[in-house]
Amino acid sequence: MGFHLLSCFEIISGVPRPKTKTELLDAAEAQYAKLDSLIEGMSSNDQHTNFDPSITQIGKEAHWARDKNLRDVLAHLHEWQRMLLGFVDANRQGQPRPFLPFPHTWRTTPTLNQEIWTQYQGTELEAIRENLADSHTAVVALIGEFTNEELFTKAHFPWTGTTSLGSYCVSATSSHYEWAIKKLRAFTRKPPEQPHNQAAPQ
């Protein structure tokens, strides 16, 4: 399950994954602040328009072609945090349920992610940013309710399978934020468009 968990959260990380509760909370807040700062540094036009088409060709992973704009990226983050919150809440209340919504499995997450994309196409960016802020706060609060042992001992809870609850939390926060930051940085570094009437070099 660990392999599928990391890959299906679409993690792209060059930073060591947190291994303690303190590291997890610090990383979650730091990466969220970095993401928010990056967004604030984007012009209003860049925040609300689609990415340059060249962005979709950066990598072979489905998400490069799937996410067309900032709203799509943030909606993806928010929905995976909602799944984490629901997963933990239900199981803590003695209502066994898998992380992924029925009928999905870790092998069908590309389809699930496309469904998430479709679900939020009618939602405004401003609403998505508020939703993500709320789910981020909720996940951080949730992490605070568990001990270090509960978070990072593999299979401490039977409902996390062979991995740890902390691994789910890392993937839904700091590592997922790093993934989003990489996408947005690729967009903000796009070359300026040339005027249509500019002569091509001879």
Tens digit of each residue's pLDDT (9 = 90 or more) over 112-146? 999 999 999 999 999 999 999 999 999 999 999 99
- Report, as an integer, the average pLDDT of 146-163: 98
Q: What pLDDT, on a 0 to 100 scale, did the predictor assign at position 2? A: 39
Question: Is the separation of the CB atoms in 18 and 27 below 8 Å?
Answer: yes
Q: What is the CATH T-level fold of the domain 22-188, as seen in this structure?
A: Four Helix Bundle (Hemerythrin (Met), subunit A) (1.20.120)
Q: What pLDDT, on a 0 to 100 scale, did the predictor assign at position 9? A: 56
Query: In this predicted model, what pLDDT tens digit does every residue of 11-20 receive, in sequence order?
Result: 545 568 999 9
CA 48 – CA 5 distance, rounded (Å): 31
Query: In this predicted model, what pLDDT tens digit does every residue of 98-121 receive, in sequence order?
Result: 999 999 999 999 999 999 999 999
Q: Kindly list the domain boundaries of the chain, sorted by start residue.
A: 22-188
Q: What pLDDT, on a 0 to 100 scale, did the predictor assign at position 188? A: 85
Average pLDDT, the chain: 89
CA 41 – CA 24 distance, rounded (Å): 26
- Residue 6, pLDDT > 70, answer no
Q: What percent of the chain has pLDDT over 70?
A: 86
- Residue 61, pLDDT > 90, answer no
Q: What pLDDT, on a 0 to 100 scale, did the predictor assign at position 8? A: 53
